[in-house]
Amino acid sequence: MLAVRIADTRDFMKKLLTQDLFDTFLFSEGSVTTFTTFTIDGTWHPEYFEDQKVDALTWGLMRPVFFGLIKGKHIPVSFRIVLRLSDSNTESLLASSGLSMDASQIAGLFLNLNYQNNTVTCTTGTSLRIFTLDKTLDRIWDDMVMKFFSSRQIQAEIL
């Protein structure tokens, strides 16, 4: 697990809420506290999109919803967003890392974003369907997240 603090909150919020940098991540769950707390459990209802080709609840679909809850005169009190690497990107990560683990053994590679007191912190997490003491996947995922941030000019300080 990796925990980082985002150095430039304003720039990060702009990239998270108005740009497509995180749009391919799957949305797992989240909450936003403004004048009240809005909680979204991330349950996917594909029948809602029966007339469209939408096959996953991505951050790209949720981003306008969160932006709508946050925009206005006041900054939010806090928010929490849990994103998951898509299955195809998880397979690509495994293939490029040379790790001999099957993607079906991975329940999720997560990125937890938390905002409070004008500070954004991010933590990584892995969830496996098997038991192992090997933490190689954790390190690979942590490295990938730091490379992702760096390639998008997001400065992150390891906590």
pLDDT in single tens digits along all 159 residues of the chain: 999 999 999 999 999 999 999 999 999 999 999 999 999 999 988 888 887 878 789 999 999 999 999 988 899 999 999 999 999 999 999 999 988 888 999 999 999 999 999 999 999 999 999 998 889 999 999 999 999 999 999 999 999
d(CA 25, CA 83): 6
Q: Are 4 and 119 in contact (CB under 8 A)?
A: no
Say whether pTM exceeds 0.75: yes
The domain spans of the chain are 3-158
pLDDT at position 99, please?
Answer: 87
d(CA 4, CA 25): 19
